[in-house]
């Protein structure tokens, strides 16, 4: 993994060189091993390298034989040895053994169609000096980030927004429309960011810059069959095919010239990945996990079970509540967008543990819940569809207790409240986003904290209606669960999970995450699996359990699903020092942020302080974290508190390599 940045267009070469140098300096946590810049009269490309493949000769920016093409690349191409062999047979010559050079020659040979042949996680830019054209591409589901903006006729791009904002020509301003999207959908719509005029290249898209104009095009689309068009195969056949694909997807992600470890949370997904490594390789299995001071969030008992079962060499970090408080703003500096939960912060501590043990690469289980039916939102959708057929039923809502066992012991009043909560829009089953209506309605309550002028300006704006316009052709013919899966992948997984909890928290400590369940072959297979084999009645990830259960202790694949969460209240209000929270929530901070209602925010803080943070409601938790994160971002990027920028830059200046035509 790496950090990439660049400017293409009309500029002063000296000025562009200084700007890209600054951009790479800001990104050096992504790639501390090497730094390089290429410049000519129309392009300046920068690279910060985390060396994983071809340690000796894989330096970037990299060029082809006649020095007409230059590439900067962030990511991994897992099928690069196979692609290299095909290119050798077509007459290409290689100077390195890197996957970066395979991309260069692949682009020479196949052009844009190269993207269809890649199995990997990537964001890369190729500058064609003869055509004076820049080609930028991002992987299918957005594992690796890529941001861009147009300024003074030039295209600026980078792996992280902070690299763009270090250029004085690019102002840091919040985009209030994007904020309303986050305060409804948890994330912005795919091309937007929280910052005005700064865009992200959507997953599965490429961008071409030429002559000052930008063209963006989709090259891959997540698709599901129509509801009645699933292949008729036995569950044993589905499981056999799935197992073969998952094993191969895991093994090719062990390709590296450095040791590869794995996260082991104690859940089904990471346990399967580590079990595959143990049973199908001779690797020394090195695993890492976090546990929590608060037992409610802790899974260490299941972690210990897997460690004993697989006999792994394991390291654990026990996350204390005060550590979440202390690291929250640093995490936000890396995340660069408002968040609604503290869950990313412990993952930053986990990647620090990995790096302290001299590992750069880990395999993790992301993607299994989304593509194999692991989340409660899929169960809710199924229960609500069943309930909607007889909305007056008193028995059907009792199925909710299967999802949330605490409802069984709740008071009659609380049970009635929860039934009313889940009954919202119950019979609106024809709505294409039916599965997510409750979640989005709940999150949209955050709009009550917006300043009056912002609320008035966007009073008629509905992010849900805008999102509906982006749904692919044939969406309405899909099974209800397939619709829910698509939305969860398209918005939550790509826009939040892989970014705020994935790439950013790993790269904060120069660690690369690899995700076998997000191999595009596995994704395309999983979309064709009948919904009943993903969610069997209310048994989640049924196919995964059938396919891989023999590798695990029974307690792992029969345990109830425990979504990954992290503490909130005890982190910020049971500590002796919560000064920065009070400072950020004070009137001056709110006025500077210019988008929040002072009285509403002050009341929220007083409520938390009065109850010492012991609030149980999801809305209050979301409200506190989202406002704290928004105010933190304002302090870090708009007010301009650069406390997390690297201070000692002498090593960077002494090691940077510069190439010219």
Omega prior to 166 cis, within 30 of 0: no
Q: Where is 513: in which H helix or E strand?
A: strand 512-514
DSSP state, residue 170: S
Active site residue 166: no
For strands 34-39 and 2-8, give the pairing.
unpaired
Q: The tokens of 336 are what?
A: 């660069």
- Give the separation between CA 192 and CA 178, rounded to whole angstroms: 7
Cβ atoms of 133 and 208 closer than 8 Å: yes
Q: Strand 147-151's sheet: what is its strand order?
A: 199-200, 147-151, 154-158, 2-8, 43-49, 34-39, 656-659
**b/e 171-208 (16+ beta carbons within 10 angstroms → b):** ebebbbbbbbbbbbbbbbbbebbbbbebbbbbbbbbbb
| DSSP three-state, residue 157 | strand
Contact 208, 214 (CB under 8 A): yes
Strands 69-77 and 120-128, bridge-based pairing = antiparallel
> What is the three-class DSSP state of 659?
strand
DSSP code, position 34: E
Task: Show Cβ contacts of residue 67 under 8 Å, excluding neighbours closer than 6 positions.
Answer: 129, 661
* CB neighbourhood size of 272 (10 A): 26
Span between the terminal Cα atoms of the chain, in Å = 26
**How many CB atoms are closer than 10 A to CB 259?**
14
Which residues lie closer than 8 Å to 530 by C-beta, 6 or more apart?
230
Selection from 222, 172, 186, 251 nearest residue 501 by Cα:
186
From residue 649, give the alpha-carbon distance in Å to each of 25, 26, 35, 655: 8, 10, 12, 10
Q: 487 with 436: CB under 8 angstroms? A: yes
Q: In angstroms, rounded to a whole number, what is the distance separating the alpha carbons of residues 538 and 541?
A: 10
**Three-state SS at 466:** helix
Query: Catalytic one among 2, 166, 571, 595?
Result: 2
Quick check: 297 and 566 in contact, CB under 8 A? yes
Instruction: Tell me the pairing of strands 133-138 and 120-128.
Output: antiparallel
Sheet of 260-263: strands edge to edge?
313-319, 286-292, 260-263, 361-363, 512-514
Among all residues, which ones are annotated catalytic?
Answer: 2
């Amino acid at each position: 993994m790496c950090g990439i940045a660049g400017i293409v267009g009309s500029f002063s070469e000296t000025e562009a060189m200084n700007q890209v140098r600054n951009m790479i300096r800001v990104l050096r946590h992504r790639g501390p091993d090497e730094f390089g810049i290429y410049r000519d009269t129309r392009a300046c490309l920068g690279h910060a390298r985390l060396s994983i493949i071809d340690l000796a000769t894989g330096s970037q920016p990299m060029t082809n034989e006649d020095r007409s093409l230059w590439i900067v690349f962030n990511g991994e191409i897992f099928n690069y040895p196979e692609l290299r062999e095909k290119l050798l047979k077509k007459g290409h010559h290689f100077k390195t053994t890197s996957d970066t050079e395979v991309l260069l020659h692949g682009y020479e040979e196949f052009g844009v169609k190269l993207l269809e042949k890649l199995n990997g996680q990537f964001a890369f830019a190729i500058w064609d000096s003869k055509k004076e054209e820049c080609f930028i591409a991002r992987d299918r589901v957005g594992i690796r980030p890529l941001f861009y903006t147009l300024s003074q006729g030039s295209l600026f791009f980078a792996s992280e927004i902070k690299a763009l904002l270090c250029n004085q020509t690019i102002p840091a301003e919040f985009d209030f429309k994007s904020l309303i999207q986050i305060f409804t959908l948890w994330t912005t719509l795919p091309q937007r960011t929280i910052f005005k005029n700064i865009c992200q290249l959507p997953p599965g898209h490429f961008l071409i810059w030429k002559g000052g104009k930008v063209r963006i095009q989709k090259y891959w689309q997540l698709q599901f069959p129509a509801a009645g068009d699933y292949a008729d195969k036995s569950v044993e056949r589905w499981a056999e095919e799935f197992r073969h694909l998952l094993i191969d997807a895991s093994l090719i992600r062990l390709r590296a010239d450095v040791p590869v470890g794995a996260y082991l949370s104690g859940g089904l997904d990471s346990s399967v990945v580590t079990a595959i490594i143990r049973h199908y390789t001779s690797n020394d299995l090195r695993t890492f996990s976090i546990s929590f001071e608060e037992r409610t969030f802790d899974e260490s008992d299941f972690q210990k079970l897997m460690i004993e079962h697989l006999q792994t060499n394991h390291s654990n970090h026990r996350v204390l509540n005060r550590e979440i408080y202390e690291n929250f703003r640093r995490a936000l500096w890396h995340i660069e967008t408002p968040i609604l939960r503290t869950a990313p912060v412990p993952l930053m501590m986990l990647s620090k543990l990995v790096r302290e043990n001299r590992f750069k690469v880990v395999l993790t289980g992301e993607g299994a819940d989304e593509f194999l039916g692991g989340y409660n939102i899929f169960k809710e959708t199924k229960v609500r569809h069943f309930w909607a057929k007889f909305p007056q039923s008193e028995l059907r809502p009792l199925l909710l207790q299967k999802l949330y066992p605490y409802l069984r012991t709740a008071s009659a009043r609380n049970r009635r409240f929860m039934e009313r909560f889940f009954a919202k829009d119950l019979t609106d089953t024809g709505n294409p986003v039916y599965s997510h209506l409750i979640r989005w309605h709940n999150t949209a309550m955050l709009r009550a904290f917006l300043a009056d002028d912002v609320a008035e300006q966007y009073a008629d704006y509905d992010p849900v209606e805008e999102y509906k316009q982006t749904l692919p052709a044939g969406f309405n013919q899909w099974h209800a669960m397939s619709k829910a899966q698509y939305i969860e992948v398209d918005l939550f997984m790509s826009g939040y999970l892989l970014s705020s909890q994935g790439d950013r928290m790993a790269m904060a400590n120069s660690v690369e995450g690899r995700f076998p369940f997000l191999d595009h072959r596995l994704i395309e297979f999983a979309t064709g699996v009948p919904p009943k084999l993903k969610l069997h009645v209310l048994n989640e990830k049924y196919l995964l359990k059938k396919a891989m259960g023999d590798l695990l202790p029974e307690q792992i694949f029969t345990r109830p699903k425990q979504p990954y969460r992290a503490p909130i209240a005890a982190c910020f209000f049971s500590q002796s020092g919560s000064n920065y929270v009070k400072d950020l929530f004070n009137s001056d901070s709110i006025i500077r942020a210019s988008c929040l209602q002072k009285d509403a925010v002050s009341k929220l803080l007083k409520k938390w302080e009065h109850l010492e943070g012991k609030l149980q409601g999801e809305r209050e938790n979301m409200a506190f974290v989202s406002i704290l994160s928004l105010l933190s971002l304002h302090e870090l990027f708009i007010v301009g508190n650069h406390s997390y920028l690297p201070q000692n830059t002498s090593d960077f200046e002494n090691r940077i390599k510069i190439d010219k035509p």
